[in-house]
Structure 1
Amino acid sequence: MDELDVDYVIVGAGAAGMAFADTLLTETDASLAIVDRRAKPGGHWNDAYPFVRLHGPSLVYGAESRALGSEAIEAVGINRGLLEQASGTEVLAYYDQLMRQRFLPSGRVTWLPLTDYADGIAASRITGARTRLCARRKLVDATYADTRLPVTDPPSFDIAPGVRCIPPHALPGVREAPDGFGILGAGKTAMDSVVWLLEQGVARDRITWIRPRDPWLLPRENLQPSFDFFIPTVGAMAGELEAARDAASIEDLFGRLEAAGLLARILRTVTPAMYRCAIVSAPELELLRSVKDVVRLGHVRAIEAGRIVLDGGSVPTSPSRVHVNCTADGIPRRPPQPIFQGERILLQHVRRCSPCLSAAFVAHLEAAIAGEAEKNAMCRPVPAPDEPLDWLRMQLEDFANRRAWSQSPELQAWLANSRLDRFSGIIARAVREPTPERLAILQRYREAAGPALTRIAELMAGAQAGAALEPA
């Protein structure tokens, strides 16, 4: 068996693994082996549906060393007027170029595609060749938050013979117009599928949407990390804190966030039971609201020839309808673990809903700080959200990290100059280029931060105490 000695073995060439590797290349002289079961870098983007776009601006996605897109404004389409969002094809091309034009020419990266990794052994899926990988410094696991997609994860429900049930990526391949479409799921993939169908001219009354839980959504207009959008973007950050500071209860908190335009829901008459950082623009939300045939009977248990069986009942269907399976878990919620674990680094988010920045920041800590305890103190994991209460949990963990980072001028400077953390950058620029309106927003943010975090912790403690009293 061949043996390869490198400083770091990175398992996973998705967004997190590539961002981590890129920062290590910049800030150290380390050698790297990157292992992935797919043929090309980019992780789940290799399996994405054709009409997918980045859910956030291209400006803050990818790796530190290479921009993905620019501050260009979308001139056409449903999100015109907002910062551009790369298509899935553009994201894959970006990672391919990053590997071919930066990583491999460095002479410090060994790329092992189509390769499985277990217990120190890399096994080629093509030749079966096995190579022992020896990490002189550390093994980096970039798969802990691996994305689950309908095309790669089989449905968890039974499908009768003759039923047409497809993943979203097969929608553009539908050749004969069906009697209607059934969208199964309530997450961002389901929302993208609904919007795409409506944009193709499918009548809204030909869409049945099975939503087990309605989601709280983040308005895209508030998440524009460009200095030109400083007022709405940083104003929204201040508004979140003010809503938390003044909330009398968790219900009141979400009411305040919605009233201030900081969270949205598809139907105002239905209380959301899900929060997963999904982002929508006002025009997208209008399209989602136009679908009236919505089924709220829980999760799909089976699709039979004439009905869809759900937790709480059933609804009619037929073999002439196309059912679109959007029920994969996306980013599974896993228990947080220490990121630095001796000879192992377990990549997790350290900023809410920010996989690329999180991985790059962890790599910077690895390069800049020697002590493991100090590094872990700087990066408490921020777990993937699932329920509305996670909005509060993420705020607490996110601010705990920000507070720790604020004690280090070096980390503050790194963040302010980070391509992936434009929020810190535009705040730093506002301090350098003050106007009364910018200063007023920054003052609101500073004044609300402490009381808001105290109140969020109180609300969380109350919710947890109430849950402990509930019967099992």
Structure 2
Amino acid sequence: MADFETDYLIIGAGAVGLAFADTLLDEDPDCHITIVDKHARPGGHWNDAYPFVALHQPSATYGVNSMEMCPDRVDEHGHNAGMYPLAKHAEILSYYSKLMSERMIPSGRVSYHPLTEYHGKDGSQHAIKGILSGDEQTVEVRRKLVDGTFFKTSVPSTHTPAYEIAENARFTIPGELPALWKDTDNMPSNYIVIGGGKTAMDTAVWLLEAGVSPDKIGWVRPRDSWMFNRKLLQPAKHGIEGLIEFQSDLVEAAAASETGDAMFAELGKRGTMLRIDENVTPKMFHFAVISEAEVDLLRSIKTVYRQGRVTKIEDGTMHFGDEAVEVPANTLFIDCTASAVPFEARDKTRKFFDGDTITLQLVQAPFVPYSAALGAFLEANFETDDERNALCPPAPLTDTTDTYPYAVMANLMSTAILSNNEKANAFNAKSRLHPTGPAVAEMIANNDPRLAELSKVGPKIQANMPGVIKLGMAAKAIHEAS
């Protein structure tokens, strides 16, 4: 006999699991939800992130549908000045704690088990175990298991570097940098950031804004990356013009290009995509969003190592296979090699809805919370898995310039599928997490004059769609072969 029963057992109290639970509470007012998570508080991987981390995209479309994350105002200072706010680490954790304590638990329909691991199932009975207590319980799941851990997010504090670290090397991770003030008599002489992704960019910006001279910062970048220009991705309510420009640029560049690199080159000319070094053609694209001011800061770092991946670090020397590169003594090496999303799992997508299991995945890249919330809506409002899965084929998790056109094509097809379904279209019109839905609905209700420009987007997409599909299918073949 089970220790307790529930309708839905959600594994993970992070952005994915909580976005699903939040929407399910509204769409299915009779269901009971149980959430288990390894962390001591809600927020998933944000609990493990470095303290100066912030969202890449405006907070207007992050979190859950029922609760705004940040004030609706423009930042006046820093590298995000003139744009809408990006929630910071403490704000994100506070947001999810408030969601749990003021909405989830008081509803009387959510049971939350922090510091608890999921241990598998036997039929409809599922095992969970308290991490600190060691106590095991069984849960009778009346409806479905919801897996919110598909993305298996990795951050520096939970990641093991793939290179050797000598005993005499000064080594740290981004989360430990703010504590350097505690030992002012033993400050590093130089800093080397290892990694080419957004964590490395965040870390380099933090060092520069903390007053470290760019001459004292080195950067190991085996690959460079393209990034979305944040100024075009402002909340639709305030910046629909930028979103129109962004969408138009994507389809026009894709339709006019024979390769992903050619598409990115065109987007770079238009300012839709940004890169740090104008003399290097990036081959990486992880959906990062950045401001022009951040790029300007990062360009001030001139010591860049492009010898490949680091194999060993020691005081005064950095190794790249058989090549040893001399670096200043007493350098602090900062590991930023964790991949936030396991792109190596890109070929492991599965059915979103599969009998008694829901696997929360991307429906549109890179909108993670929206995809989870949409999954909850489909679960509550459609009768069969066939109906649900037809509306949410998992979006491809691409990570290179060669394969990104596949994601562009898939997103456009997903938008068409959902907009042609009356119920799904109505959900998007009210979903705070959808990038344009509520704003467009409000514009229509108010007969906003900006609708004239917005009305041109559909025909432009339609006219360019054959070229988008041609490039997208070529990218799909590369993606599936890699």
Where does residue 5 of structure 2 map in the other structure?
5
- Kindly provide the amino acid, as one letter, of the partner of residue 90 in structure 2: T
Check the 8 A contact 2:261/2:401 in 1, yes or no: no
Match of 1:164 among 166, 170, 178: 170
* 1:80 has 2:90 as partner: no
Check the 8 A contact 2:14/2:42 in 1, yes or no: yes
- Kindly provide the amino acid, as one letter, of the partner of residue 21 in structure 2: A
* 1:459 has 2:465 as partner: no
Where does residue 124 of structure 1 map in the other structure?
130
2:75 aligned counterpart, secondary structure: coil
Where does residue 462 of structure 2 map in the other structure?
450
Q: Answer with 388-397 or 258-267: which moved more.
A: 388-397
Shift of 1:227: 2.1
Q: Percent identity?
A: 36
Where does residue 123 of structure 2 map in the other structure?
none
Check the 8 A contact 1:8/1:137 in 2, yes or no: yes
Where does residue 267 of structure 1 map in the other structure?
277
Give distance in 2, aligned partners of 1:156 and 1:182. 16
Where does residue 381 of structure 1 map in the other structure?
394
Alignment TM-score, normalising by the size of structure 1: 0.95
Change (3 A) 1:214 1:59: same
- Kindly provide the amino acid, as one letter, of the partner of residue 65 in structure 1: S
Change (3 A) 1:323 1:344: same
Shift of 1:362: 0.5
Change (3 A) 1:466 1:150: closer
Gaps of 5+ in 2: 121-125
Where does residue 189 of structure 1 map in the other structure?
199
RMSD over aligned Cα atoms: 2.0
Shift of 1:457: 2.6
Shift of 1:465: 6.5
2:252 aligned counterpart, secondary structure: helix
Matches within 5 A, 1:384-403: 384-403=397-416
Check the 8 A contact 2:406/2:473 in 1, yes or no: no
Give distance in 2, aligned partners of 1:400 and 1:156. 38
Q: Answer with 225-234 or 404-413: which moved more.
A: 225-234
Q: Answer with 247-256 or 319-328: which moved more.
A: 247-256
1:156 aligned counterpart, secondary structure: coil
Where does residue 14 of structure 1 map in the other structure?
14
Where does residue 244 of structure 1 map in the other structure?
254
Give distance in 2, aligned partners of 1:312 and 1:296. 14
Deviations 1:266-319 (A, max 9, x none): 111101010001111010010111111111111111112332112573322355
Where does residue 204 of structure 1 map in the other structure?
214
Check the 8 A contact 1:298/1:312 in 2, yes or no: no
Where does residue 316 of structure 2 map in the other structure?
306
Q: Answer with 90-99 or 72-81: which moved more.
A: 72-81
Q: Answer with 220-229 or 11-20: which moved more.
A: 220-229
1:101 aligned counterpart, secondary structure: helix
Change (3 A) 1:190 1:466: closer
Change (3 A) 1:118 1:71: same
Q: Answer with 454-463 or 6-15: which moved more.
A: 454-463
Change (3 A) 1:196 1:312: farther
- Kindly provide the amino acid, as one letter, of the partner of residue 239 in structure 1: D
Gaps of 5+ in 1: none
Check the 8 A contact 2:229/2:271 in 1, yes or no: yes
Q: Answer with 91-100 or 421-430: which moved more.
A: 421-430
1:242 aligned counterpart, secondary structure: helix
Give distance in 1, aligned partners of 2:89 and 2:410. 30
Where does residue 371 of structure 1 map in the other structure?
384
Shift of 1:462: 4.0
Alignment TM-score, normalising by the size of structure 2: 0.93
Check the 8 A contact 1:302/1:310 in 2, yes or no: yes
- Kindly provide the amino acid, as one letter, of the partner of residue 24 in structure 1: L
1:78 aligned counterpart, secondary structure: helix
Check the 8 A contact 1:6/1:32 in 2, yes or no: yes
Change (3 A) 1:144 1:169: same
Shift of 1:154: 1.7
Shift of 1:425: 2.5
Change (3 A) 1:25 1:464: closer
Change (3 A) 1:455 1:231: same
Match of 2:432 among 396, 410, 419: 419
Deviations 1:145-180 (A, max 9, x none): 121011111212110002111110001111333111
Check the 8 A contact 2:231/2:242 in 1, yes or no: yes
Deviations 1:380-430 (A, max 9, x none): 111333111232121122122111112112211210111111412223344
- Kindly provide the amino acid, as one letter, of the partner of residue 132 in structure 2: I
Where does residue 349 of structure 2 map in the other structure?
336
Matches within 5 A, 1:44-83: 44-83=45-84
Q: Answer with 44-53 or 247-256: which moved more.
A: 247-256
1:277 aligned counterpart, secondary structure: coil
Q: Answer with 249-258 or 414-423: which moved more.
A: 249-258
Check the 8 A contact 1:276/1:384 in 2, yes or no: no
